[in-house]
Amino acid sequence: MAKFTYRGKELAELKAMNNDEFAKLLTARQRRSLKRGQAKKSPTLFKKINNAIKQVEGEKLQKNVKTHKRNVVITPKMVGITIHVHNGNEFKKMLITEKMMGHFVGEYAVTKKLVKHSSPGVGASKSSKFVSVK
């Protein structure tokens, strides 16, 4: 099985990097978000994430990290923790894996439902008045 690499770097190398070094590997939008200091804008979320990272490293029972912040970039240090992201209606549970690095958290909690059409409702059109209301 092939080892996971992100832009030529293995996970251990990525975890050793600080955010500025990791930002150089990202696309422009994510790099801008990291450089502008996402940890400064939502310090309570990052305290919770850091506690969850310590629990994963210590092999303790992990508590849930719930957030409404969808514009947080996933960094290598977050790999292995579970985050519940709000999608406007409920919290969607997601386990952060290596392949999610560099993406925003909100990309994995879809906000819109697929539309499933059934029979037309009463008063929808002339033809629907003969459809049973059961």
| Domain assignment of residue 129, yes or no | no
Taking only the tens place, the pLDDT of each residue in 4-38 is 899 999 999 999 998 889 999 999 999 998 888 88
| Domain assignment of residue 74, yes or no | yes
Q: How many domains is the chain partitioned into structurally? A: 1
Taking only the tens place, the pLDDT of each residue in 77-95 is 888 899 999 999 999 999 9
| Domain assignment of residue 133, yes or no | no
Taking only the tens place, the pLDDT of each residue in 25-76 is 999 999 998 888 887 888 888 888 888 888 877 777 777 899 999 999 999 9
| Domain assignment of residue 127, yes or no | no
pTM confidence score: 0.79
Q: In a 10 Å sphere around its CB, with 0-12 CB exposed, 13-18 middle and 19+ buried, how is residue 84 labelled?
A: middle
For the domain that residue 111 is a member of, what is the CATH number?
Answer: 3.30.860.10
| Domain assignment of residue 134, yes or no | no
- Pick 86 or 128 by higher pLDDT: 86
Distance (Å, whole) CA 60 – CA 71: 28
Host domain of residue 61: 5-115
